[in-house]
Structure 1
Amino acid sequence: MPHQSPPLGCHYAVDGRQLMLHSSGSGGPTIVFLAGVGLMSLDYLNIHNRVAELTGSVLYDRAGNGWSDPVELPRTAAEVTDELRELLRTAAIPGPYLLVGHSLGGAYARHYARRFPGEVAGLLLLDPFHEDMAVRAPLRARERLDQMLKQMQDQELVELTEGQIQHSRDQMAPHFATWPELVRKSLIERHLATWRVASQENQNLYDAVADEFRRAPDTPDVPLIVLSAMGHDVTQAHLWPEELLREINDGKRALHAELAAEAPRSEHRILDDAGHGWLHEERPDAVLQAVNDLLRWAR
C-alpha cells in the first residue's frame, strides 16, 4: 500500500511511520473519531465537520489504513491505542479527549479510556464491537463467522481485475455523492487500494484482541453513551440470514446495555432506523445529539 498524500490533513511521524491526522474546530474537550474496520478517517468527514462547529474535532488513520503508512497486520489493541496516544501528542492535540469510536473503533476507544483514564473526558460508542460478541452468539452464527473469516483470508490472495475495480468504483460513487468534491474521488480510490485491510485487522480480533479487552482495567467514571444500530444494513443483510441476524442483533443489544452499565453516568440509545456500517451518515442527528450531551456532561 504505497504512501500517498491525503486530500485533507497532515502526516505526522510516529514510531518511524507517517500517520494521517486532520483537525478542525477549536475548544474542548477535543473529539477524536476512531474508525471501524473497513472504514477510514474521511468516511467520517461530514459528521466531523458538524462536530467541529461545537468543539475541536480530529480524524485520523491508524497505521495500515487510509492515508497512513503500512504496518504488519493484525495488531494488538495495546499497539493501536499506544500509537493513537503518541500521535495526539506529536500533533499537539490538547486533551482531555472525548473519544467517538465506531464498531471496532468503539472497542479501541473503550480500551484507550481503560488504559489512560486521566486523558479521557467521555466516550461515545457507535454500535461498538464487544469482546463477547462471538462467544455469546448462537452456535450457527459462530460457525458462519468462522467460514467468513476463512473466506476473507482467501480473498487477500485474489487480484481484482480492472473490470471489478471499475464496478466497485461505480457502486461507491453514489454513496459518496454528499462528500466535498475535493475529497470524493481520492476517498473512493483509497478504498479500492486498501480493501484487504478489513480482513487483515479481523484475523486476531475474536481471540487475542478479545482477550486483551477482557483483561483490561475497569471502564473509568466518565460520561458514556452507547448507540446501538438496529435498523437495516445492506452488508449485514447480505452476510446473515434474516432470522439469524435478528438473534445476533438481540444479543448485540444486550451486550451494549452491559457496556453502558459499566459507567455510572451513561445512556444506552437504540437507533431502529440506522444500520451498523453507516449510522453516522444515516442518523447524524443522533450522533450530534449524543456529542452535545457528552460535551455538556463533561464540561
Structure 2
Amino acid sequence: MKRKISISKKLAFYTCLISAFTMSCNNDDDSVLTLSNMVDTGDYKLFTQTAGNGNHTIVFESGLGDNYESWYKLLGLAETHQVIAYNRAGYEPSEMANNDRNIVQLAEDLHQVILSKSENNKVILVGHSLGGAITRYYAVQHPEMVEAILFVDPSHEGFEEMTQGQEDNMVEYFRGEGLTQIANEAEQFIENFQTLDALSTLPNVPIIVLTSIRDREGENETRWINAHATLGENVTNFTHITTENSGHYIQVEEPQLVLDAITALLD
C-alpha cells in the first residue's frame, strides 16, 4: 500500500526551519518578508531564501504541494556552498500568479530566481517530483546555466498516465480544500507530460537520479525504474540509484542519500 502524506501534516512537519536560513519561527518577525527575500518576475513576486556562499550554487525545486521547507534537512549545505530555495507562485508568502502554471512557465520563474540570486554562473539543480520535471525542462532550455542535476524521484511521462477526468477530479479536490496554488499547477499535468514527451535529451552534465521503489511492486517498479533510466540518454556522467529505505519523499525520509548524491556532484 502506498504511503500518503497529507498536505496539512507535511506543513505541520515543516513548521520551523534550521537557522541556516536565518528565519524566525515567530510569525511576528517581519524580517521574513524583506525585499531581499522577494524576486520580482514582472507580474508577481516569489519568496526566496538564500544562504551561504562558495564556488557552487545549489538550487532546490520542490514538488506539487510543497514549499521550500521540504528541503530543510539539506540546508546545512549552506555552510560551504550557496543554497537557494524558494516558494513557487501562490505558495505563501509568494504572490499568486494569473498565468498558466505549466512547467514552461514554472521553469521561467526558476530562471528569474537563479538570475536574481545566484552568485555563480552555473548552478546545481535539485528537483523532487514535479520539481524534477521543472528542472528537466529548465536544463534543456538553459544548458549554459547548469553545472549538474540531481533528480529526486522525479515525475516522468513514461510512467505517469492521466486522463482528463482524473486531472479534473484532482483539481476539483484541491480547489475544494482552498489550495488554489496547488490546483493551478495540477490542472497542467496532462500538458506537462506532453511537453516532457517532446523534450530533447538533457545537456551532457553530471546527472544523478534517485528512484524510490519502496511503495512500488512488480510492473510498477520496473516501469518507474525504466522511466527514470531514460534521463541518462546521451549523458556521459550518469548515475541511477534505487532505494527501498524511503518513499517518494527521499529528501525527508533518507536525507543522507540526497546529501551523498549532491556531494558526488560537487566532486
| Whole-angstrom CA distance in 2 between matches of 1:152 and 1:126 | 23
Percent identity for Structure 1 against Structure 2: 26
Deviation of residue 157 (structure 1)?
4.7
Asked if the contact 1:229–1:275 (Cα under 8 Å) also holds between the matched residues in 2, the reply is yes
Q: In structure 2, what residue type is equivalent to 1:203? A: E
Deviation of residue 151 (structure 1)?
2.6
Asked if the contact 1:63–1:71 (Cα under 8 Å) also holds between the matched residues in 2, the reply is yes
| CA deviation map 1:34-62 (0-9, x unaligned) | 00001111221221x22223411110112
Partner of 2:263: 292
Partner of 1:151: 169
Partner of 2:39: 12
Aligned mate of 1:205, from 181, 189, 192: 189
1:230 is the counterpart of 2:209: no
Secondary structure in structure 1 of the residue aligned to 2:137: helix
Partner of 2:157: 131
Deviation of residue 147 (structure 1)?
5.4
Q: How does 1:1-299 map to 2 (within 5 A)?
A: 7=32, 10-47=37-74, 49-72=75-98, 74-91=100-117, 93-135=119-161, 148-158=166-176, 195-206=179-190, 208-232=191-215, 246-276=218-248, 278-296=249-267
Asked if the contact 1:107–1:130 (Cα under 8 Å) also holds between the matched residues in 2, the reply is yes
| Whole-angstrom CA distance in 2 between matches of 1:214 and 1:6 | 42
Asked if the contact 1:106–1:128 (Cα under 8 Å) also holds between the matched residues in 2, the reply is yes
Considering Cα pairs closer than 8 Å and 6+ residues apart, tell me whether 1 or 2 has the greater RCO: 1
Deviation of residue 92 (structure 1)?
5.0
* Number of equivalenced pairs: 237
Q: In structure 2, what residue type is equivalent to 1:250? A: T
| Whole-angstrom CA distance in 2 between matches of 1:5 and 1:18 | 17
Unaligned runs of 5+ in 2: 1-28
More helix by share: 1
Deviation of residue 248 (structure 1)?
2.6
| Whole-angstrom CA distance in 1 between matches of 2:100 and 2:106 | 10
Aligned-pair Cα RMSD in Å: 2.5
| Whole-angstrom CA distance in 2 between matches of 1:6 and 1:210 | 39
| Whole-angstrom CA distance in 1 between matches of 2:58 and 2:95 | 23
Asked if the contact 1:228–1:256 (Cα under 8 Å) also holds between the matched residues in 2, the reply is yes
| Whole-angstrom CA distance in 2 between matches of 1:217 and 1:158 | 37
* Structure having the higher Rg: 1
Partner of 1:235: none
| CA deviation map 1:162-220 (0-9, x unaligned) | xxxxxxxxxxxxxxxxxxxxxxxxxxxxxxxx7343333121212x2222223333311
TM-score by length of 2: 0.80
Partner of 1:180: none
Deviation of residue 271 (structure 1)?
1.1
265-274 or 248-257: which moved more?
Answer: 248-257
| CA deviation map 1:47-91 (0-9, x unaligned) | 1x2222341111011222242110136423221112221222223
